[in-house]
Amino acid sequence: MKRVTILGAGLAGCEAALQLARRGITVTLVEAKPEKIEPAVYHLDGPAELVCSNSLKSESNATPSYLLKEECRVAGSLLLQVADSVKVPAGESLAVDRNRFSEATLGLIAAETGITYIRNTIVDSIEALRERFPADLYIVATGPLTGPSLLASISADNHYFYDAIAPIVSAEGLDLTKLFWADRYNKGLPDFLNCALTQPEYDRFIDALLAADKLPYADHEKPQFFDRCMPIETMAERGRETLSFGPFRPVGFFVEGKRPHAVMQLRVENAQRSAFNIVGCQTRMRHHAQREVFRLLPGLENAEFLRYGSVHRNSYINAPELLADGWNLLKHPDTYVAGQLSGIEGYGESIFSGLYTALTIVARFEEKKVPLLPVATMSGGLLRKLRTKAPHFAPVNANFSVIENPTRLMKRDRKLFYVTDGIRQFRDWWNGSAAFLSLP
């Protein structure tokens, strides 16, 4: 019997567990929840929790995140199937009802007789994992909040960056007479609630934001943010208009025939439309300050906060130094690292990582290797990036800079070409040299 123990039932851990079990491999999936992991970012007791945004990013056919998702779909990603089945309206993005996403994933896990799902168990070193849950191979998929002792057992050479989450407010607290449903450039259905700001309203918000009471960083920690996750106040500190060119950009919106100075967007959180995420407003303001500052926005005067924004230290390993070709640890060849901890960033990327790790293990059990992915595919590009040594290795997410596909096409056509050709090349790879990895 082939046995794999997976630590962490997050996005990567669940995808890997399901992929392995469906190929007849016996899996023990060990998860801390409902035991609490610090800092308190996880709120659901179930597996595969989307911790911040409920969006798995764009489904627009000229974007890097769409290319990655499509490649995962070709390879039979089960979590993307779940996501597609519980999606909520979000314009051109794939957003999901996070509770239903977690419940449906739990349903798939429970239906697999080959998976033993052990909850309420924190394991704090690779050695303890081996001792308590012996198997042929192991996957550590404990995510960006992996504790210090587990990290130390993987390597002394760990990195971190700060990540931030945006607040969620209830629908009841919103004044719909001041907000409007619309999608940027009127593309698709109007799935976002928007708040248009005049210059004086924007200035009042920025003044309050800059003056607001914020949580300090620990003395020994030098904040370094992944660009897309920068707290809103840090953006404002870089320049008063940074937000109006960033998350509050008004392009594509018209109110009474004019473009507003800025537009703050609220994205639907669940199928009932009872909760909204304040898009791009991740913050380290203290809770009382979040209430004061966000309630200055027109339509949010009585906003009820279902979840406050926060900032967390995220850990990741120096993948190019620590991982071997198959994404297992050079120091512990029977142990793989998957998900955000392995040096990638994002929900889609973590699902891909779980999927790819499972395929690597399937190949290894058959005494084969996963064939090299084309460099024009997003998966191939991400893997190559993770294997490229760099003086300051930073987590990598799906973006067109990681792929190689020479073309003379102009910008918009080029992106579409990258995506269509990337999917074509991935499909050829999957149906060709990688066909032995398909589900039976």
Which stretches of the chain bind ligand FAD, using CB under 6 A? 7-13, 30-33, 37, 41-42, 51-53, 122-124, 141-147, 150, 163, 165, 312, 314, 339-341, 345-347, 350
Cis amide bond preceding 134, omega within 30: no
- Distance in Å, CB of 176 to ligand FAD, minimum: 25
- Distance in Å, CB of 61 to ligand FAD, minimum: 19
- Distance in Å, CB of 273 to ligand FAD, minimum: 19
Classify 128 as helix, strand or coil: helix
Give yes or no for a contact between 47 and 106, defined as CB atoms under 8 angstroms apart: yes
CA angle (161 as vertex; 159, 167 as ends), nearest 5: 150
d(Cα 124, Cα 130) in Å, to the nearest integer?
11
- Distance in Å, CB of 21 to ligand FAD, minimum: 17
Q: How far is CA 204 from CA 189, 198, 295, in A?
A: 31, 10, 11
Residues constituting the chain: 440
Nearer to ligand FAD, 49 or 201 (CB): 49
Give yes or no for a contact between 70 and 423, defined as CB atoms under 8 angstroms apart: yes
Nearer to ligand FAD, 126 or 264 (CB): 126
- Distance in Å, CB of 353 to ligand FAD, minimum: 7
Cis amide bond preceding 216, omega within 30: no
Taking CB positions, which residue lies at the least distance from ligand FAD?
Answer: 10
- Distance in Å, CB of 292 to ligand FAD, minimum: 23
Angle between helices 378-386 and 64-74 (to 10 degrees): 100
Nearer to ligand FAD, 226 or 365 (CB): 226
Nearer to ligand FAD, 227 or 367 (CB): 227
Give yes or no for a contact between 15 and 78, defined as CB atoms under 8 angstroms apart: yes
Q: What is the CA radius of gyration of the chain?
A: 22
CA angle (244 as vertex; 238, 246 as ends), nearest 5: 70
Classify 266 as helix, strand or coil: strand
Nearer to ligand FAD, 137 or 141 (CB): 141
- Distance in Å, CB of 436 to ligand FAD, minimum: 26
Query: If phi over 0 gives left and psi between -120 and 50 gives alpha, with beta otherwise, what is residue 48?
Result: left
Q: Where are the beta strands (DSSP E) in 290-380?
A: 305-307, 310-317, 335-337
- Distance in Å, CB of 111 to ligand FAD, minimum: 19
Nearer to ligand FAD, 97 or 124 (CB): 124
Nearer to ligand FAD, 11 or 80 (CB): 11
Nearer to ligand FAD, 10 or 167 (CB): 10
